[in-house]
Structure 1
Amino acid sequence: MSLVKKFATVGGATLGSRIFGFARETLMAAALGTGPMADVFYAAFRFPNLFRRLFAEGAFNAAFVPLFSKEIEANGVEGAKRFSEEVFGVLFSALMIITIAMELAMPWLVTWIIAPGFADDPEKTSITIRLAVVMFPYLMCMSLTAMMSGMLNSLHHFFAAAIAPVFLNVVMIAALFYALWTGADPLSTAWYLSWSVLVAGVLQLAVVYFGVRHAGIKIGFRRPRMTPNVKRLLVLAVPAAITGGVTQINQIIGQAIASGKEGAIAALQYADRIYQLPLGVVGVAVGVVLLPELARALKGGNLKEAANIQNRSIEFVLFLTLPAAAGLWVLSDAIIRVLYERGAFSAENTAVVGSILAIYGLGLPGFVLIKALQPGFYAREDTKTPMRFTMMAVVVNSGLAISLFPLIEERGIATAEAAAGWINTIFLFSTLVWRGHLKWEWAFARRTALLLVSAGIMAVALTYALRYASPWLASGSHFLQQVAALGLLIAISMLVYFSIAFLIGGADLGMIRRNLKRKPKKVATPVDPEV
């Protein structure tokens, strides 16, 4: 299977999850708006959601996949099965202890880390603690899901691991439909959502478990033991967990600061959901597929092939995210109005969330490039260097957020996150080039400049077209009319960008096909006779 097809498989499944996520957030906006219960739920959900994104989007795989792949090559499937059982025993036991400890410490975590701004409102603090207690066991489900997803990715079974996140959104949508249908008050709606998160975690774990069984591996429980392989995994996993969570760490910092203003947490969350679409579809797909591909090439001593895979992946990221960034900047208000402005979500909310989304758009290419650059370190079993850069980015984010929030409120937090993302990207890229792990190509630099020109021309054309579409996008317009107008604008932007990019040489279909369409070595995948 070519890289493009693998990107499409993971990206397509992630796209499905993000579309359901949009539906979920639209219902959330209608049911809760940016009111107190929206703030409370999102604050309580932030902690388990941190681990969802941290583990599901590559941090655990960064440590697990290279070691699992090495076991397959050295000791076959039986050796990989033995390694996975050793990891499962230690991971399950550690997660059980962590979950119990966190549940007991939840009052302290909410008061000092998750939402310190709620301190003046004892009722909000109390509800946040209780909701977080219900949702935190989701951590166990997602961590075990991440491990099994890493096994599936190493065996080139991408779909089950990529489709599992859909279940979170489907179950939460069902809870919201039930709340709206029964006319539940905001507090009851928050409780329904909290329990739906826990149910979704169990379903996601079941999906990847049966996926692993279908791939031919049965995982049994072994007594936890610190074997050499497990110790090596922990040495790699801790820095990778910190590194992979840079965006989420920055968002927790931003949330803690934003909790001082009512509605700010919900506003940041609604904007975050929009830019997570291109970040998930492109960034997660590239990160998930690229790591095992790089690890395979490096283990085989194919350094030239590894450098080519890395460069082409970066080019693929820029080709898709530069126009997405320009589109989010120009269409931010229109997107928020069409998706959210109804029920408890007002025109004033649209203006605030739209301004946040525009800033996130500027940081989008940087956020996605991080996903494409980090595997260059992880495939070489270097997780400490990205961790150091992450910590630098966190310091920058914290300083900017604290400085800018009193001046421009939520927009200051978004600005801090975008700046931290770009700083991290620059550090990762320059280090890979300096070490010789990433080959500098002047032809690639030229194409990147031409892609920037194409995205700029697209933004100008979109700004001009938006003037004519504004009457159909106005607050009082019919929903279907708004959707049609927004869809037309997006279609125009795509037509302009891709036409200009191919016309002036920023992209070349033949080059992309030649560099990405290649056949890697197949991994022997046994078939379970019982499946």
Structure 2
Amino acid sequence: MTNQEQTPSRSFAGIAGIVAAATLISKVVGLVRQLAIAAAFGVGAAATAYSYAYIIPGFLLILLGGVNGPLHSAVVSVLARRRQEEAAPLVETVTTLVGGLLLLVTFAQLFLADELVDLVGHGLDTITRGIAIQQIQIMAPMAVLSGLIGIGFGTLNAANQYWLLSISPLLSSITVIVGIGVMVLQYGKDIIKPEYAFIGGMVLAWGTLIGAILQWLVQLVVQWRLGLGTLRLRFDFKSPSVQEVIRIMTPATVSSGMMPINVATDLYFASPIPGAAAGFNYANLLVQTPLGIISNIILLPLLPIFAKLAEPENWPDLKLRIRQGLLLTAFTMLPLGALLVSLSVPIVQVVYERGAFKQDATQLVSSLLVAYGIGMFVYLGRDVLVRVFYALGDGQTPFRISTINILLNAGLDWILVKPFGAPGLVLATVSVNCSSMLMLLWLLDRKLNGLPWREWTVPILGLTAGSVVTGITSYLTLVVLQQVLGKEGLLILILELCISSLVGLVVFGAIASWMKIPEVNSFVIRMRQRFLKK
């Protein structure tokens, strides 16, 4: 949809403020959901079965229905360059195509639920296995819903509807929380008894499905109001716009679908290391929560902008926007990574170290957190560049690079696991992300007839140096505080962590301000004005 036909444009910082607030609310509600599941079912049959049954629906919801996923990116890339009247037929045709294909996946889950559970959970006891089979069959329609939600995300993003796009995922969390609350009111403390496991499993499955339905319906209502498509079936699959969506979406989906292969490879090499697989989950949660919020803030406003600047005559402006995306990524990810590296131990202690989570587990997870922190910038920077290729109508290049990286990841896992153990597997992933980013930059340089390398690298290197100083400052502050206050007690750990982080961020802010990077200064000023006004 062209600028003339869209709603009035907002500033990048204004959009980022909306996305930040909505995403934060959604993440907090998601955390409450997990706490409710843990409190109600612990690691009993209901929760264990749900972990296995949710593998396929959860993967599809992230892959196809997630913000910044292949469907979302493909729809934004095409719609942002089309007129308003072209939007509804395109959305309806893509919905018909994707919905029909995913309907087959839904039926496959319904009829092959037993085999799927036995494949991923061959050692489950009879009760847990039975619950998991029922849960898969209940949540099977989420295959279709994931595609519809992904299309809805892309449609709303192209129409500058950011609040609903960022906050709608919390509906799935709310329905699960409400379901657990109703069960607690009805059965009280008895819900922890084994005989209530089946009921608990059904509450989790139905709550998740109803939440996905609500998420799709609220998107659909807004689409209808904006004239961006209805439930009408269209079969104009040969339309140039539809073909463009397919051309971008197909390799992007296959490329994203290769992620589980890399995860499986990492777990294969981690299997001889005690506790490594669980450690990955704990460390990854600490990384993905802030990363998910910041990636939405940066990527959501930029996706339609990239798409509108895809024509050769707009490439000078496109390069400026790519620089903006990379510099904001460096400005946010580099100091965050520095804090994860320097404060990894107290972070893990504050979040996890209680009950069965002892000091040896803290050492393992904190070492993994250090490795994750090193790669924060390249992780998100790669995603920014991938979206540029999608906007240019090129989904093949990221796909080819992902294919190469499967072999590279396996080779680096084999090399680095021996000297570094479990952190070596994370370092292998970081190295693969770094190589991906460099390859994408090199190919983008050729595609856009040259990139201003010096204008991009100098400020990024300066911010990198500033993040190193930030990490050192935070660590030294922590050491001094520990000498004065000690290392025992949750409140003391939280106080030390907050002070050390704040000192480091103040130092980084001073360095970034001294560098006078226009994109960063403008973004910070507008964000400050927006939140102070509120």
TM norm structure 2: 0.82
Change (3 A) 1:26 1:346: farther
Partner of 1:371: 383
> Letter of the aligned partner of 1:158 in structure 2?
Y
Sort the Cα spacing of 1:515 and 1:320 in 2 relative to 1 into closer, same or farther, 3 A: closer
Give how far 1:377 is off. 0.8
- Structure 2 distance, partners of 1:259, 1:226, is 46
Cα distance in 2 for residues equivalent to 1:91 and 1:168 = 22
Structure 2 CA distance, aligned partners of 1:246 and 1:287?
21
1:78 alignment partner in structure 2 = 85
Contact 1:89 1:222 in 2 (8 A): yes
State the Cα distance separating 1:457 from its structure 2 match. 0.8
The residue number in structure 1 matching 2:6 is: none
Taking a change above 3 Å as real, the CA distance of residues 223 and 319 of structure 1, as seen in their structure-2 partners, is closer
Match of 1:451 in 2: 463
C-alpha distance 179-495 of structure 1, shift in aligned 2 (>3 A): farther
**Shift of residue 483 of structure 1?**
3.5
Q: 5 Å matches for 1:387-466?
A: 387-401=399-413, 410-436=422-448, 439-466=451-478
| CA gap 1:111/1:412 in 2 versus in 1, 3 angstroms | farther
Answering whether residue 392 of structure 2 is matched by residue 380 of structure 1, we say: yes
Q: Structure 1 regions of 5+ residues with no counterpart? A: 518-531
Change (3 A) 1:424 1:300: closer
Match of residue 353 from structure 2: 341
| Residue 380 to residue 85, structure 1, CA distance change in 2 (3 Å) | same
Is structure 2 residue 155 aligned with structure 1 residue 148?
no
SS at match of 2:231: coil
Identity across the alignment (%): 23
Q: Confirm or deny: 8 A CA contact 2:353 2:362 kept in the other structure.
A: yes
Structure 1 residue matching 2:232: 3-state secondary structure? coil
* Pairing of 1:13-52 with structure 2 (within 5 A): 13-25=22-34, 41-52=50-61
Aligned: 1:7 with 2:7: no
For 1:98 and 1:271, locate their aligned partners in 2 and report how far apart those are by CA, in whole Å. Answer: 32
Aligned pairs for 1:158-237 (under 5 A) are: 158-174=162-178, 182=189, 184-185=191-192, 188=197, 192-222=203-233, 224=235, 226-228=237-239, 229-237=241-249
Question: Which residue matches 1:500?
Answer: 511
Aligned to 1:241: 253
What is the CA–CA distance in structure 1 between the aligned matches of 2:275 and 2:422, rounded to whole Å? 10
CA contact (8 A) 2:113 2:133 kept: yes
Partner SS, residue 82 of structure 2:
helix
C-alpha separation in 2, matches of 1:259 and 1:110: 21
Aligned counterpart for 1:97 among listed residues 104, 126, 133:
104
Aligned-pair CA distance for 1:502: 2.0
> In structure 2, how many angstroms separate the alpha carbons of the residues matched to 1:329 and 1:128?
38
Per-residue CA deviation, residues 184-239 of structure 1 (Å, 9 max, x unaligned), is 44974666444432232122112212232343435132154533343442232110
Between 191-200 and 230-239, the greater mean CA deviation after superposition: 191-200
Report how many aligned residue pairs link the two structures: 506
Deviations 1:257-293 (A, max 9, x none): 6678886544322322221123212223322222210
Amino acid at match of 2:102: L
* Distance in 2 of aligned mates of 1:320 and 1:108: 44
Q: CA RMSD in A?
A: 3.6
Distance 1:105 1:318 in 2: 46
Q: Call closer, same or farther: CA 1:225–1:448 in 2, change over 3 Å.
A: closer
- Per-residue CA deviation, residues 23-44 of structure 1 (Å, 9 max, x unaligned), is 4455666778889987765454
3-state SS in 2 of match to 1:156: coil
Change (3 A) 1:511 1:94: closer
Separation of aligned partners in 1, 2:24 and 2:518: 23
C-alpha separation between the residues in 2 aligned to 1:141 and 1:472?
55
Q: 1:304 is paired with a residue of what secondary structure?
A: helix
- Partner SS, residue 301 of structure 1: helix
Whether contact under 8 Å (2:375, 2:430) holds in the other structure is yes
Which residue among 132, 157, 160 is the counterpart of 2:161? Answer: 157
1:283 aligned residue: 295
SS of the residue corresponding to residue 393 of structure 2 reads coil
CA distance in 2, matches of 1:258, 1:111: 23
Distance in 1 (alpha carbons) for counterparts of 2:190 and 2:353: 19
Cα distance between partner residues in 2 of 1:404 and 1:128: 36
1:31, 1:344 within 8 Å by CA — same for their partners in 2? no
- Whole-Å Cα distance in 2 between the matches of residues 511 and 149 of structure 1? 27
1:57 aligns with 2:61: no
Distance (Å, rounded) in 2 between the aligned partners of 1:361 and 1:325 = 4
CA distance in 2, matches of 1:177, 1:410: 39
Q: Which moved more, 1:324-333 or 1:191-200?
A: 191-200
Matched, 1:491 2:502: yes
Residue deviations 1:355-380, cap 9 Å, x none? 32222222221110122111221111
* TM-score where L is the length of structure 1: 0.82
